[in-house]
């Protein structure tokens, strides 16, 4: 049985660690530093594995589903980030655009679930002229790609999305959604995420923009659950900002979606943003007043706030300390000080009276 977070009886599962040292730059706009050996795939393309994948590599004409970030070597300017744009790239090997030849060579060397860092020479990138529209790439720019192959379908198993009818694309997405749910129930969180991302690749912004009426409703009935399930996976993996992003996509379409509000609240609470979390949970409570899970979360936030207040109180108490005790010596000092103040006041009054009489 599934709850607002995910499947209730599932165990915690985390992503498989990389066998090679990977040092993510503090600046997320720079590529990671990878400790694995550098392999030359062809003249102009080198590869370093970040995380191993599973199974076979894709065949020629395979439809590959990819997330990637790309930089120019000379300036380390990041000119593409599909995760930030929440748009999976569909790349059909052997049918790629000219400027993506190097990327296609890179993807062809990968297994499903694999992540790797590639260096691509300008001849296999955007060429001598570069690209002055989006993405903006200067002439003769060598490139760095950080690539994740989410999954792929060999030519005999599918066909390009552009050749599918609306119904076929929605059905293909829904099959992958169901596969993702099955993987999630078996605690295969990484595999489930791959399936959901492949499902979402069938329903990108360009496709959704063309839909209206019943077709848009049909697509959203598959698309929104994929985003919600992605959020559930990301909560498991403690990737809270990404989970919030998935929930926001759903809430942009349906501002009263209870699951999206609840899961966003969970992520906000985990990041210490208790005010934002409380706002989300209170909205869930208004929409679903009998839901026990949201009452539990609100109690946890109240307990957290109480503990935080007590810690702050103890901290300030320790900083300033208790007021000093009034000893006999202190009393004498106060009495002497008061007497001096009285004499000074009397002296000033007499002096002022003398000036007036003059």
Q: What percent of the chain shows pLDDT beyond 90?
A: 56
Portion of the chain with pLDDT greater than 70, in percent? 85
Contact 262, 244 (CB under 8 A): no
How far is Cα 180 from Cα 70, in angstroms, rounded to an integer?
28
pLDDT above 90 for 322: no
State the pLDDT at residue 118. 97
Cα–Cα distance for residue pair 72/125, rounded to 1 Å: 10
Tell which residue, 51, 54, 44, has the closest CA to residue 22: 51
Summarize pLDDT for 262-312 with one digit per residue, the tens: 999 999 999 999 999 999 999 999 999 989 999 999 999 998 888 877 777
pLDDT at 22 over 90: no
pLDDT grade for 244, boundaries at 50, 70 and 90? very high
Model's pTM, two decimal places?
Answer: 0.61
Instruction: Take residue 211 and report the two structure tokens written for it.
Output: 């839909």
pLDDT at 207: 87
| Max mean pLDDT range (88-97, 105-114, 338-347) | 105-114
Better pLDDT: 195 or 327: 195
What's the Cα-to-Cα distance from 122 to each of 48, 100, 126, 210, rounded to whole Å?
A: 19, 11, 6, 35
Return all residues near 10 (Cβ < 8 A) that are at least 6 apart: 184, 185, 187, 236
The residue-averaged pLDDT of 211-227 equals: 93
CA pair distance 131, 137, nearest whole angstrom: 5
- The answer to whether 95 and 38 have CB atoms below 8 angstroms apart is no
When the pLDDT of each residue in the chain is averaged and rounded to a whole number, the result is: 85
pLDDT at residue number 305:
82
For the chain, list the domains and their CATH numbers: 36-156 (3.10.50.40), 164-237 (1.25.40.10), 261-322 (1.25.40.10)
Give 158's pLDDT tier (boundaries 50, 70, 90). low
CA–CA dist 301, 296 (Å, integer): 9
Q: How confident is the model at residue 68 (pLDDT cuts 50, 70, 90)?
A: very high
Query: What confidence score (pLDDT) does residue 323 get?
Result: 59
| pLDDT grade for 3, boundaries at 50, 70 and 90 | very low
Torsion of CA 36, 41, 43, 45, to 10 degrees: -60
CB 91 within 8 A of CB 107: yes
Q: Which pLDDT does position 9 carry in this prediction?
A: 37
Helix orientation angle between 258-270 and 214-236, rounded to the nearest 10 degrees: 30
- Asked whether residue 192 carries a pLDDT value surpassing 70, the answer given is yes
pLDDT for position 2: 46
Q: Is 263 left (phi over 0), alpha (psi -120 to 50) or beta?
A: alpha
Confidence band (pLDDT; 50, 70, 90) for 342? confident
DSSP code at position 256: T
pLDDT tens digits, one per residue of 94-136? 888 899 999 999 999 999 999 999 999 999 999 999 998 888 9
pLDDT category at 1 given cuts 50, 70, 90 is very low
How many Å apart are CA 63 and CA 31, to the nearest integer?
A: 26
Q: pLDDT value at position 84?
A: 87
**What's the residue count for the chain?**
358
Shortest CA distance to 17 belongs to which of 46, 49, 48? 49
Return d(Cα 328, Cα 321) in angstroms, integer. 21
C-alpha closest to that of 185 among 151, 233, 220: 233
Query: 275-302: b or e for each residue (b if 16 or more CB lie within 10 Å)?
Result: ebbbebbebbbeebeebebbeebbeebe
For residue 318, give Cα distances in angstroms to 159, 308, 309, 313, 315: 69, 15, 14, 9, 5
Of 32-36, 256-260, 276-280, give the lowest mean pLDDT range: 32-36
């Amino acid at each position: 049985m599934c709850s607002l977070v995910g499947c209730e009886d599932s165990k915690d599962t985390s992503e498989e660690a990389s066998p090679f040292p990977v040092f993510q730059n503090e600046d997320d706009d720079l590529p990671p530093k990878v400790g694995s050996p550098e392999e030359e795939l062809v003249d102009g393309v080198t590869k370093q594995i970040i995380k191993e994948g599973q199974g076979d590599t894709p065949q020629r004409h395979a439809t590959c589903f990819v997330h990637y970030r790309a930089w120019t070597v000379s300036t380390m300017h990041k000119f593409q980030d599909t995760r930030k744009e929440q748009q999976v790239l569909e790349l059909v090997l052997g049918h790629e655009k000219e400027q993506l030849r190097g990327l296609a060579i890179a993807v062809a060397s990968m297994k499903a679930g694999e992540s790797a860092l590639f260096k691509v020479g300008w001849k296999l990138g955007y060429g001598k002229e570069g690209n002055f529209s989006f993405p903006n790439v200067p002439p003769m720019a060598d490139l760095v790609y950080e690539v994740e192959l989410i999954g792929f379908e060999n030519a005999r198993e599918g066909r390009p999305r552009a050749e599918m009818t609306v119904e076929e694309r929605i059905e293909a997405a829904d099959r992958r959604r169901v596969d993702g749910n099955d993987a999630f129930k078996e605690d295969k969180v990484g595999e489930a995420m791959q399936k959901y991302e492949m499902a979402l690749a069938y329903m990108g912004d360009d496709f959704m923009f063309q839909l209206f009426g019943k077709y848009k409703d049909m697509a959203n009935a598959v698309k929104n659950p994929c985003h919600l399930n992605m959020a559930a996976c990301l909560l498991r993996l403690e990737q809270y900002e990404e989970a919030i992003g998935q929930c926001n996509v759903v809430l942009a379409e349906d501002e009263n979606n209870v699951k999206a509000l609840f899961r966003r609240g969970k992520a906000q609470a985990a990041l210490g943003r208790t005010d934002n979390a409380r706002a989300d949970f209170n909205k869930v409570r208004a929409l679903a007043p009998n839901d026990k899970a949201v009452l539990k979360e609100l109690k946890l936030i109240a307990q957290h706030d109480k503990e935080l207040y007590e810690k702050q109180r103890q901290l300030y108490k320790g900083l300033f300390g208790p007021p000093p005790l009034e000893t006999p010596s202190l009393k004498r000092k106060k009495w002497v000080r008061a007497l001096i103040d009285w004499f000074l006041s009397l002296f000033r009054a007499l002096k002022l009276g003398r000036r007036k009489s003059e």
